[in-house]
């Protein structure tokens, strides 16, 4: 390849360009045809991807666009690719459970309407690289007094107290067995489904990808209430915030060990005096995440919705090791609807009240839009960090074409 500059060799120029942010590269595409050609080359895109942010998969929750996902990059406003989730059956209200470290396997849940006030829920294993999908349907139904599912499910990824039954999931890799596993916890009022009976953990099941089977572990020996899919797989276990009853604030962490296929001892949150100004309400924005391999807690202010604290458990399982790493005050007017976790590069993913997806730099509280916009309270999305995957994705939407990350929209 001929030199891109009269003074700088082309190989040096490539190294320089691969270190630049996406906004600069988008402008440089207009410099010359040779630059545009280089910036579209698969080898350059892969080099750039490995030196910049991680890729994010945005999964829509709204019914109308239930199979249209977007692949974006942590520091890219305009470089996104539409991916079709190839499902034969109509699954909606898709929610993220987790993904493999290289982004080659994504685990979701979805609902499918069956009859009045009832839907069945499935675990969906999807490889964006190949387009392969494996739907692990649940035989039971999720019963809800709202048709077909309550808004609470669409927004927060779980069925609220108006439902007779709801399911929560965790996903992770078990190295000794060399396979991925999914844990599913069924919460129910019991067989009678009496309205005055507290909803309790009723059944625990584990799916192993290698054997393609579900194992029934029976009724768990704990009574803690956990909600939503686990967003924190750390130290071989899926983690959830837990509360003693349905309406009580979160006060601990429940963990399911994928190797032992059992629940560990419940872990403590940071000291209560450190959390006084932050909300731990189950219907609030508090969530667990992973910060550079460690368990992290993200919570927002009780009175100031623009204030956020991030704690990291420095030594796993040791409550005294909780350390408040960041205290973020967002710009005025930046009202958050939900925290979606931390990316591999430590950026905080947020869904705002205007249904925009943004990421926040935890160091300077600067907010950048990702370019994803929900259409309303029932038209939102979920996000998973795919890590530093390969720059080419092949599925039913993209065929065998190379993923161009710097295309203008």
Domain-located, residue 397: no
25 shares its domain with 80: no
101 shares its domain with 7: no
Q: Residue 233 — pLDDT band, cuts 50, 70, 90?
A: very high
Task: Provide the pLDDT for residue 401.
Answer: 23
Could you list the residue range(s) of the whole structural domain that residue 31 is in?
Answer: 1-39
70 shares its domain with 44: yes
Domain-located, residue 33: yes
Cα–Cα distance, 8 to 41 (Å, whole number): 20
Residues 132, 146: contact at Cβ < 8 Å? no
Task: Provide the pLDDT for residue 377.
Answer: 52
327 shares its domain with 210: yes
125 shares its domain with 164: yes
154 shares its domain with 12: no
Domain-located, residue 254: yes
pTM of the prediction? 0.78
105 shares its domain with 24: no
The domain that holds 321 is classified in CATH as 2.120.10.80
| pLDDT higher than 80, residue 235 | yes
Task: Provide the pLDDT for residue 141.
Answer: 67
Residues 120, 114: contact at Cβ < 8 Å? yes
Region 360-382 average pLDDT: 75
Which residue has 């006030």 as its token pair? 117
Contacts made by residues 177-180, CB under 8 angstroms, sequence distance 24+: 177/208, 177/210, 177/259, 178/210, 179/208, 179/209, 179/210, 179/211, 180/100, 180/105, 180/107, 180/208, 180/209
Task: Provide the pLDDT for residue 258.
Answer: 96
Region 360-372 average pLDDT: 83
316 shares its domain with 360: yes
Domain-located, residue 404: no
Domain-located, residue 57: yes
Domain-located, residue 392: no
Domain-located, residue 402: no
Task: Provide the pLDDT for residue 359.
Answer: 82
317 shares its domain with 367: yes
């Amino acid at each position: 390849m001929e030199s891109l500059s009269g003074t700088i060799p082309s190989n040096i120029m490539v190294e320089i360009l691969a270190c630049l942010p996406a906004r600069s590269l988008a402008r440089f595409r207009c410099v010359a045809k040779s630059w545009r050609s280089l910036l579209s080359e698969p080898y350059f895109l892969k080099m750039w991807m490995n030196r910049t942010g991680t890729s994010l998969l945005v999964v829509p929750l709204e019914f109308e666009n239930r199979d249209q996902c977007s692949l974006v990059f942590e520091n890219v406003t305009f470089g996104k690719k539409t991916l079709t989730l190839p499902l034969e059956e109509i699954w909606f209200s898709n929610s993220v459970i987790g993904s493999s470290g290289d982004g080659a396997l994504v685990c979701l849940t979805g609902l499918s309407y069956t009859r009045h006030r009832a839907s069945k829920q499935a675990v969906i294993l999807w490889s964006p690289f190949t387009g392969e999908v494996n739907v692990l349907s649940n035989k039971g139904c999720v019963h809800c007094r709202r048709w077909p599912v309550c808004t609470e499910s669409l927004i927060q990824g779980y069925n609220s107290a108006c439902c007779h039954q709801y399911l929560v999931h965790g996903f992770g890799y078990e190295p000794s067995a060399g396979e991925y596993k999914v844990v599913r916890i069924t919460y129910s009022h019991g067989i009678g489904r009496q309205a005055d009976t507290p909803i309790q953990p009723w059944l625990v099941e584990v799916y192993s990808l290698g054997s393609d089977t579900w194992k029934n572990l029976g009724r768990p020996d704990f009574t803690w209430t956990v909600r939503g899919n686990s967003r924190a797989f750390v130290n071989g276990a899926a983690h959830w915030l837990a509360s003693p009853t349905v309406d009580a604030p979160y006060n601990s962490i429940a963990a399911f060990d994928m190797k032992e296929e059992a629940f560990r001892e419940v872990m403590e949150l940071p000291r209560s005096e450190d959390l006084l100004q932050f909300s731990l309400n189950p219907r609030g924005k508090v969530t667990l995440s992973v910060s550079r391999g460690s368990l992290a807690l993200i919570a927002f202010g009780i009175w100031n919705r623009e204030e956020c604290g991030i704690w990291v458990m420095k030594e796993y399982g040791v409550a005294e090791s909780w350390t408040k790493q960041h205290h973020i005050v967002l710009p005025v007017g930046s009202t958050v609807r939900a925290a979606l976790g931390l990316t591999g590069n430590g950026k905080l993913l947020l869904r705002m009240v205007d249904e925009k997806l943004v990421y926040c730099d935890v160091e300077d509280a600067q907010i950048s839009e990702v370019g994803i916009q929900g259409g309303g309270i029932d038209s939102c999305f979920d996000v998973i960090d795919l890590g530093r995957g390969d720059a080419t994705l092949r599925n039913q939407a993209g065929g065998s074409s190379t993923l161009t990350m710097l295309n203008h929209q």
